[in-house]
Amino acid sequence: MSLCKRRGFVYPSSEIYGGFSGFWSYGHYGTILKENIKSLWRQRFIFDKEAMFATDTSIIGNPQVLEASGHVSNFGNEIFKTEVGTGEDTVVSHLRAETAQGIFVDFKNLVDSHHPKLPFGVGQIGKAFRNEISPRDFIFRQREFEQMEVEYFVKEEDWEKYFEMWREVMNRFALEVGIKAHELEVSAEDRAHYSKRTIDFQFDYPFGRGELWGLAYRTDFDLKNHNLDYFDEESGTRFVPHVIEPSLGLDRTILAVLTSAYTEDELGGEKRIYLKLNKNIAPVRVAVFPLLKNKPELIAKAREVYAMLKKEIPNIEFDDNGNIGKRYRRQDEIGTPHCITIDFDTLGDPSTGSGQETLKDTVTLRDRDTGEQERVKISELSSLLK
Ligand code: ATP
């Protein structure tokens, strides 16, 4: 938690007023890490699949949605009430407790716009709100959080096949973001009454094992509640599709990613902390430094290398603050996989550096995990960093 605050990942919400229980803000690196995870999720859960649609539904909906969806029994007093409109026109509504409901409510619109054939699905990333009685464990249990959910519509007889398909997608996603997830088959007594099968993906948080994500077979419960059905052109019949729901909490993913990546070791006789983030989600892919900050020729060359790489690697950072050791420590703590340093040998001036002219236009490339540096040609950098 202190690293998250020190380095700009996560701050307590409205901290100057003493914070607010259950609410957190993401800082610069936290926001970028979140965006990287979201875009990987979109790739794996929507774009890589056929007949997957994206949506972004409203957080506040018609109050009837709440009644029809069975949320009152599911979430009880955990729902945030809000007033919509003014004066006599005021209507009491609520903030959604899960992103899924908007997908079901818009089911007819989706079918009318795209005429999809079963199986098909809809994916959504968005905020959800629960007035949790005891928010706790940093960003694990919050009152405002973000979900990445898919509702996948299938014919009843196909549910097992597609349950397995999403189970595999979730397990692969865990590996790709660097998390070790443990599957827990939820027993009939512990499942929601409408679910015929649920797997909880759990994670070993510093405070113990807890839920990370869920995968549920929700039967035809949701569409039925909203009196929605589907006309199958192939068979010429009308029926209610069944639903498989992979539901991923984004904040719990971030917490699992950060705690998995957090490493303490010793480098060059000194203790250090670093985040062993996978390079596909690290907020900064590579940082470029001039060896010294008061030598204009080093800075100019470093800026040139930075500008060249930025065209191909947008999440690159230029840093000339403090001394080089401090910069390495900072980049280690935010999980930057590689650092590039421009020194006097790069300039190839025989009167400075090691004096070896053959080192002209080479830089040092430092690996975060080992701390080792190798000398590489500037022209090879972009292919080495891919
Ligand atoms: P829990 O049992 O921990 O309260 P849940 O079973 O109520 O969670 P779901 O309704 O299945 O959770 O919501 C799907 C996902 O949303 C969860 O797997 C989790 O990642 C995330 N989530 C749920 N509640 C919270 C919360 N209060 N804060 C942060 N993330 C949450």
Task: Give the model confidence (pLDDT) of 27-71 as tens digits.
Answer: 999 999 999 999 999 999 999 999 999 999 999 999 888 888 776
Q: pLDDT tens for residues 163-209?
A: 999 999 999 999 999 999 999 999 999 999 899 999 999 999 999 99
- In this structure, the residue with its CA closest to atom 1 of ligand 1 is 211
What token pair was written down for 243? 């639903």
pLDDT at 353: 72
172-177 contacts at long range (C-beta below 8 A, 24 or more positions apart): 172/44, 173/40, 173/41, 173/44, 173/45, 173/248, 174/201, 176/40, 176/44, 176/278, 176/280, 177/37, 177/40, 177/253, 177/257, 177/278, 177/281
pLDDT at 3: 97
Q: What is the C-alpha separation between 357 and 354, in angstroms, rounded?
A: 9
Q: Exposed, middle or buried, 152 (CB in 10 Å: 0-12/13-18/19+)?
A: buried
Average pLDDT of the chain to the nearest whole number: 95
Q: pLDDT tens for residues 269-315?
A: 999 999 999 999 999 999 999 999 999 999 999 999 999 999 999 99
What token pair was written down for 332? 């280690």
Contact 378, 343 (CB under 8 A): no
- In this structure, the residue with its CA closest to atom 7 of ligand 1 is 75
Question: Does residue 76 surpass a pLDDT of 80?
Answer: no
pLDDT at 131: 96
pLDDT at 328: 96
Q: Please report which confidence band the pLDDT of residue 73 belongs to, taking 50, 70 and 90 as the band edges.
A: low
How far does the centroid of ligand 1 lie from the alpha carbon of residue 127, in Å?
12
For the chain, domains (ranges, CATH) are 2-259 (3.30.930.10), 284-385 (3.40.50.800)
- pLDDT (mean) for 320-334: 95
Contact 60, 53 (CB under 8 A): no
Q: pLDDT tens for residues 355-368?
A: 777 899 999 999 99
Contact 313, 381 (CB under 8 A): no
Q: Is the CB of 41 under 6 A from ligand 1?
A: no
Pocket test for ligand 1, best of 10, 142, 145, 193 (most atoms within 8 A of CB): 145
Query: Which residue, among 33, 35, 44, has the nearest Cα to 10 in the 3D structure?
Result: 33
User: What would you report as the CA-atom Rg of the chain, rounded to the nearest whole angstrom?
Assistant: 25
Q: Is the CB of 247 under 6 A from ligand 1?
A: yes
